[in-house]
Amino acid sequence: MSLKSESKTVDDVSNVELLLGNTRYELMPFESFDEEIAHLPDGATIAITTSPQLGIDRTVEKTEMAAERGYEVVPHVAARYVEDREHLAEIARRLTEAGVTDIFVPGGDREEPAGDFESAYDLLTALEETEYEFEEVGITGYPEGHAFLDDETLRESMVRKEPYATYIVTQLCYDPETVLEWISEVRDRGVDLPVEVGIPGVMKYQRLLEISQKVGVGDSIQFLKKTTGILGFVRQLVGSRGTYKPDKLIDGLAPYVANEAYDIRGLHIYAFNQTADLESWRLERLER
């Protein structure tokens, strides 16, 4: 079943405003983090990744700092970076004390887990056994599939994780049609969790290369390579003369935002710590 035939009469301008007004900015917990958040609106929602180079404790530290400054923070509690149940309880305690009410639980990029948790499902079930609860728990969706897992495995994984989650964040994707078709398939399978659509931010190619050199393969370029849409990204970046802007993605998603069957509740922007350019573009787009 396709949902798209039901959804093309809505006010696209208003929907663009809804999308860009309900934005989550994903940042990496690197040295530039403190400077980058200064470009964001007061009280903005910031997702903080777990870095292969820095580990999950750095994510918790930056979460505490950002929360103290008044931001709404959604830390990534990546399962393969958590050592054991005691470590999980300590992380949950610190996040709770920092006022965090929303966490995102991916599996994580480590080839070998740091401890007891092989998957997001393992961590979610263990978290249920702690004394700590979070109002919102996000899990990952893969519109373009996964580099190492087949589609059936991904479907089974979502079914197992759904009872522990309150929303889905999609992995980075450059094609709105792919995202919309994937949401239709998810709804056909009976999964009704709201979706935050993961899109790239405004990226200058030179800046992306500089970040890659600082953090090493495994955070930025490696992240881009995890999606089969990397070729689409490269084509768009080359065509944009060095700076990528997600206008086509926004325009493609806008007609479907008000359709309850899709239940798109906002954007999750992979900012790659380039928030000044991203926020300038967002505000300019809102003024059109």
Token output for 275:
């928030």
Q: To the nearest whole number, what is the mean pLDDT of the chain?
A: 87
Model confidence band, residue 100 (pLDDT cutoffs 50, 70, 90): very high
Q: How far apart are CA 36 and CA 59, in angstroms?
A: 15
Q: Which residues contact 40 (CB under 8 A, 6 or more apart)?
A: 25, 46, 71, 275, 279
Coil/strand/helix, residue 216: coil
Mean pLDDT to the nearest integer, 239-254? 83
- What is residue 190's predicted lDDT score, i.e. its pLDDT? 94
Q: Could you give all domains of the chain from N- to C-terminal order, each with its CATH number?
A: 4-286 (3.20.20.220)
String of DSSP letters for 122-149: HHHHHHHTSS---SEEEEEE-TT--SSS
When pLDDT is cut at 50, 70 and 90, the band that residue 245 belongs to is confident
0.75 surpassed by pTM = yes
Report the percentage of the chain scoring pLDDT > 70: 83
Q: Tens of pLDDT along 23-66?
A: 999 999 998 999 999 999 999 999 999 998 899 999 999 999 99
- pLDDT given at position 113: 93
Cα distance between residue 206 and residue 242, in whole Å: 8
pLDDT over 90 (residue 234): no
Residue 243: Cβ within 10 Å count: 15
Q: How far apart are CA 107 and CA 125, in angstroms?
A: 13
